[in-house]
Structure 1
């Protein structure tokens, strides 16, 4: 009987030791940083109505921890966890304890969409940002005119960043909006959408990046069909190389307060001293006339060769190219385009 009691006591002690060991292991796992090859913070979303306990599986699935049971153990030890719905930036190398602390903090501010339309000029973006109360009027133009404030792996034009601020919908945080940070994001988007993937091709093209951007900005306004832009680019580059005036009327609209102000536009067309008047001035205009999309940038980089030297658009905006001045004039008369 005595031997049985001794054996039972030994089993009880072993069980207690096992529980104690498991408890020690779990507690150590809570405070040990998570082993991750990538320490870059990542966004973690807590959905509305999600319980603290349910987040363990989500954290494990997204690579923030290895075992959701350690998360549940930590919650049991804490007693509660006050988590709000929203977006959080978490480090994949955080310990479970650090993850819980971060998730009890305030979520990231909600961003709102800001749609920058293709072809917009700096003044157009400035106007909309000001109308939304994000900046004071002129603040965006002033910042974008100081190229030295920004970084890029390509030369930035000294006269300003027109054409290099990529047009797309950006998520922005209204509170604490910084115009310089927003412009840097736009530059980085230009790099990601176009420059990085095509740097070698740009270098071999025989054209500078800036000239390609200038051409692309005209294509964005000149040709509504992206599929036709390479053909128009081929015609315009040919005119540049031959020393012909481009005749891109959009350039004469560039400095207008309102793009569609026809009265002021016609006045500009008659001004032969205007450096933006591409009916009378040969070569490219002084700079980009707006923000081109990647379709226009690629068209400027990869123009289609053809026999055409002129083009126009009919009333339905259909492209009508021609090989010489006689054909061009015939098309003008046919479609009543003057």
Structure 2
């Protein structure tokens, strides 16, 4: 019998081949894991803004910083391998940390050539926002209205209450114009995309404001107070002071007596004339002349300045304020002083 002995060169080649096969197996596993694994489960929707002229490598780095992909280098290589690197348009996207890299890439490549602005000003109610969606031609009033009061939609965004009032963040958004073929009040995909985008923007803009352990109900209370501030003043130098007035009244168990809450409770049919009958209407749950504490929920979607004011009310002893007629307010500590300001700035006017 002849013993089979390998030469040193043959042994080296076998070891080298084994190492190469092992490395290839590890690489294939890493590639498979990257392609089929999302950064988080169940994940979070996030708004991402792609600037004009942004390279795909820069886009990959941005997505990694947002936690939407875990490896910028591999995502950039995936985009080039799939021939998608040059097809990403500029604009805002609602992406998700629960998506795989392929899902993210497909969403980025689903863009259209022309985007149209949708501007949501501060202080609009949800039905006024629905009117804007309809007027823009980007969606439908009825479809948007159904979505923002849909229980599954609200649960997905951790919103307590009957609708998304207060969370439809005021901002200018960019959307493609699509053909609306859904009849009646059935929401279209575009209605859902718009609603999701507004909620994702709210989360993006406020993520540094609310502590991670703050409950959805506590956040809604802050938004409720912020919505009162938004409706009472457009002056940044007064927001925290007005928030302080309401905070003082709440501490003293005084009625807030905020006219905009009554108007909100009347709803879209309000004709612009607030009467004594409205002020005495106990059936209106938003009547803060009749009912103590905060109203049942926000009365509009406040801007960032009003949200910050509600989180950090000014510390003072004011309990009243009245409009001067020039956009500013006169603040007072006593009812006697307040009544004097009312005579000066409203009754005489």
TM-score normalised according to structure 1 size: 0.66
Instruction: Confirm whether residue 179 of structure 1 aligns to residue 170 of structure 2.
Output: no
Residue of structure 1 equivalent to 2:201: 189
**1:199/1:266 Cα in 2 relative to 1: closer, same or farther (>3 Å)?**
same
Residue of structure 1 equivalent to 2:172: 169
Residue of structure 1 equivalent to 2:114: 110
CA contact (8 A) 1:269 1:277 kept: yes
Residue of structure 1 equivalent to 2:251: 241
For residue 336 of structure 2, give the secondary structure of its aligned residue in structure 1: helix
Q: How far does residue 114 in structure 1 lie from its aligned partner after superposition?
A: 0.1
**Equivalent residues in 2 for 1:1-338, closer than 5 Å:** 92-94=76-78, 98-99=82-83, 108-150=112-154, 155-175=158-178, 178-194=190-206, 196-200=207-211, 203=214, 208-254=218-264, 255-257=266-268, 261-263=271-273, 267-337=277-347
Distance 2:139 2:196 in 1: 16
Q: How far does residue 108 in structure 1 lie from its aligned partner after superposition?
A: 2.7
Distance 1:101 1:115 in 2: 30
Q: Return 5+ residue gaps in structure 1 as ranges.
A: 1-34, 47-57, 65-90
Distance 1:315 1:44 in 2: 42
Deviations 1:228-257 (A, max 9, x none): 111111110111222111111111111332
**1:45/1:326 Cα in 2 relative to 1: closer, same or farther (>3 Å)?**
closer
Deviations 1:187-229 (A, max 9, x none): 12111111x202229849xx92111000001100101212211
Q: Return 5+ residue gaps in structure 2 as ranges.
A: 1-30, 40-47, 61-74, 89-108, 180-188
Q: How far does residue 62 in structure 1 lie from its aligned partner after superposition?
A: 5.3
**1:305/1:131 Cα in 2 relative to 1: closer, same or farther (>3 Å)?**
same
CA contact (8 A) 1:147 1:161 kept: no
Residue of structure 2 equivalent to 1:16: none
Q: How far does residue 171 in structure 1 lie from its aligned partner after superposition?
A: 0.6
Distance 2:327 2:51 in 1: 47
**1:168/1:238 Cα in 2 relative to 1: closer, same or farther (>3 Å)?**
same
Distance 2:142 2:272 in 1: 24
CA contact (8 A) 1:251 1:277 kept: yes
Q: How far does residue 145 in structure 1 lie from its aligned partner after superposition?
A: 0.7
Deviations 1:81-108 (A, max 9, x none): xxxxxxxxxx621476754896599963
TM-score normalised according to structure 2 size: 0.64
CA contact (8 A) 1:202 1:208 kept: no
Distance 2:335 2:213 in 1: 32
Deviates more, 1:175-184 or 1:215-224: 175-184
